Amino acid sequence: MKLFQLNYNRPGPGVRKDAPPQKPFIRFFAVLGRKFFDLIKLNLLFMIPVTAACVLAWLLTLVPQVADTYITYLPFVFVSPFVAGLTIVTRNYAREEHAFIFSDFKDCVKENWKAFLINGFVYYAVMFIIGFAVRYYSSMLGKSQVNFILMVVCISILVIFISAQYYVPVMIVTFDLNLKQIYTNSLMFAIIGLWRNLLLTAVFALIAYGFYLMQSTLLTIIIG
State pLDDT tens for residues 140-171: 888 888 999 999 999 999 999 999 999 999 99
Instruction: Give the type of residue at 12.
Output: G
* 17 or 122: which leads in pLDDT: 122
- Reported residue count of the chain is 224
- C-alpha distances out from residue 133 to 3, 24, 42, 147, 155, Å: 74, 39, 37, 10, 9
Which of 69-78, 82-91, 95-104 reaches the highest mean pLDDT?
82-91
Instruction: Quote the CA–CA distance of 18 and 117 in Å, as a whole number.
Output: 44
Range of weakest confidence among 2-6, 43-47, 185-189, 216-220? 2-6
| pLDDT for position 42 | 96
**Above 60 in pLDDT, residue 3?**
no
52-73 average pLDDT score: 89
121-142 average pLDDT score: 92
Give yes or no for a contact between 146 and 165, defined as CB atoms under 8 angstroms apart: no
11-26 average pLDDT score: 61
Instruction: Quote the CA–CA distance of 161 and 164 in Å, as a whole number.
Output: 5
* 222 or 36: which leads in pLDDT: 36
Instruction: Give the type of residue at 202.
Output: A
Percent share of the chain, pLDDT over 90: 64
**Above 80 in pLDDT, residue 222?**
no
- C-alpha distances out from residue 188 to 124, 162, 164, 171, 215, Å: 21, 13, 8, 13, 36
8-19 average pLDDT score: 49
- Find the largest Cα–Cα distance for the chain: 91
**Above 80 in pLDDT, residue 43?**
yes
Which residues, 6 or more positions from 148, have their beta carbon under 8 angstroms from its beta carbon?
137, 141
Phi and psi torsions of 17, nearest 5°: -65, -30
Range of weakest confidence among 23-27, 33-37, 188-192, 220-224? 220-224
Percent share of the chain, pLDDT over 70: 87
Strands, DSSP E only, in the chain?
Answer: none
Among residues 143, 127, 112, the alpha carbon closest in space to that of 74 is found at 127
pLDDT band for 22, please (50, 70, 90 cuts).
confident
* 156 or 18: which leads in pLDDT: 156
**Above 90 in pLDDT, residue 223?**
no
